[in-house]
Amino acid sequence: MIRIDRVTTRGGDSGETSLGDGTRVAKDVLRIEALGAVDEANASLGLLRLHLDADAEADAMLGRIQNDLFDVGADLCVPGEQGERLRLTEAPVLRLEQEIAAMSAPLPALTSFVLPGGTPGAAQAHVARTVVRRAERRVVSLARAEALNPLLVRYLNRTSDHLFVLARRLNAAAEGDVLWVPGAGG
């Protein structure tokens, strides 16, 4: 059970914060950068959910991903790749792959790169996708420096794929993908 009695603790006023195992670290170390990027990705999904036009299926998928991203954060906040703390498992990765396949099935094959845009929901899905990619890059940097659960990078990679396909799905219900036209700018 989690209980948060105080938000303002003043513990971070000196530029340090605590990890899940109690270790104090500077707020600009790679692990905190990765945690912050995952938090930012989660917030971008919250914003995306406001643009779904009552698409209950997409909202449920994004709600699960938001919860998973908290699990990613819980895994990241405790150094190491094993242990008794919460660690991301393969099940959410597999669920994302199944959802990607289901959303992709009715969509036409791509004949060009897709530009971010279209419906408000699709545009916000592309923004969320890029924020998740940034979180993935931060976790990759951390994984080069320290041992991490290898599923973290896979999960974030699948999440950005999921958001790309979701953007296509949201645009398919309107006027379709916004495609790149090479050299069209003049």
The DSSP result for 9-46, as a single string, is --TTTTSEEE-TTS-EEETTSHHHHHHHHHHHHHHHHH
Assign a CATH topology to domain 18-106+113-172: Hypothetical Protein Ta1238; Chain: A; (1.20.1200)
d(CA 5, CA 101): 42
Q: How would DSSP label each residue in 133-159? A: HHHHHHHHHHHHHS---THHHHHHHHH
Torsion of CA 66, 67, 73, 78, to 10 degrees: -170
List all residues 6 or more positions away from 55 whose beta carbon is below 8 Å from its beta carbon. Answer: 121, 170
Copy the structure tokens of residue 99.
């959802």
pTM of the predicted model as reported, rounded to 2 decimal places: 0.90
Quick one: which of 153, 20, 155 has its CA closest to 86?
Answer: 20
Q: What is the pLDDT along the chain (186 residues), one digit of tens a residue?
A: 666 676 666 766 778 888 778 889 888 889 999 999 999 999 999 999 999 988 999 999 999 999 999 999 999 998 866 566 778 899 999 999 999 999 999 999 988 899 999 999 999 999 999 999 999 999 999 999 999 999 999 999 999 999 999 999 999 877 788 888 888 877
Q: How far from 158 is each of 8, 101, 163, 173, CA to CA, in Å?
A: 35, 11, 9, 23
| Long-range contact pairs involving 7-11 (C-beta distance under 8 Å, separation at least 24) | none
d(CA 103, CA 69): 21
Chain position carrying tokens 């592309």: 126
Q: How far from 7 is each of 4, 60, 67, 90, 91, CA to CA, in Å?
A: 7, 29, 21, 32, 32
Domain edges within the chain: 18-106+113-172
